[in-house]
Amino acid sequence: MLVWIGSPRKIGSHLLLLDRDGVLNVDSPDYIKSWGEFVFYPDALEALRAFRLMGVSVVISSNQSGLHRGIIRWSDFWYLHEQMVRTIREAGGDLLAAFYCPHRPDEACECRKPSPSLLLTASQLYGVPPESTVFIGDRITDIQAAVAAGSKPVLLERTPLGGVQWSDFGIPAPPKRVKSLREVESLFIGASSMV
Ligand SMILES: [Zn+2]
């Protein structure tokens, strides 16, 4: 597991865990290999600013198997990360930490989602019970990871996933679905009403 910690202390009482590709930025089947390929969704930067103003701490939890596949260069990966953090902060938002899995599926590591490991590590580091966290992702494996961690799952559908038989994926109840990260802000209004 790759760990970047921007601050060891969280702000506010809420911990929001976010997938990266497809949530903060436009995903690609060819992987996001460099900062030049990283395109923020505008609503992501706006939402991150709103989260900071609301006292919601944000942590990234992302699979990046392109690293061990040899598709993403390590130097490019960390440069992208630093530029992403810089851009978020310039837009008035913040990231508290980021946890990445660099492994390929065949390495059978413990951190690759749908394992809950990336989420649980964030929960432990910041002393927030998993059930008091929210995890937002765009894939079924994200929802599986959230359910396994005990985090509240939210499916971000920038393009509709369509009908999913959630029980076929070991997910007992359909997750909340949103179409924009801006919709997530309302989940935190009214203090801990959501979690
Ligand atoms: Zn891993």
The rounded Å distance from CA 188 to ligand 1 centre is 30
Task: Provide the residues around ligand 1 (an ion) whose CB is within 5 A.
Answer: 101, 103, 109, 111-112
**What is the mean pLDDT, run by run of 10 residues, along the chain of 195 residues?**
92 90 97 98 96 94 98 98 98 97 98 98 94 96 97 94 91 95 85 45
The rounded Å distance from CA 124 to ligand 1 centre is 18
30 is a catalytic site residue: no
Tokens of 32: 């996001």
Going by DSSP bridges, is the β-strand pair 152-156/133-137 parallel, antiparallel, or unpaired?
A: parallel
Specify the pLDDT at position 135: 98
CA distances from 73 to 64, 91, 194 (A): 11, 27, 39
Tokens of 50: 């709103």
Specify the pLDDT at position 190: 60
Specify the pLDDT at position 192: 46
Catalytic choice (19, 43, 138, 142): 19
Specify the pLDDT at position 115: 98
Specify the pLDDT at position 181: 95
CA 19 to chain centre: 2
Rounded CA-CA distance 39/132 in Å is: 30
The rounded Å distance from CA 154 to ligand 1 centre is 22
19 is a catalytic site residue: yes
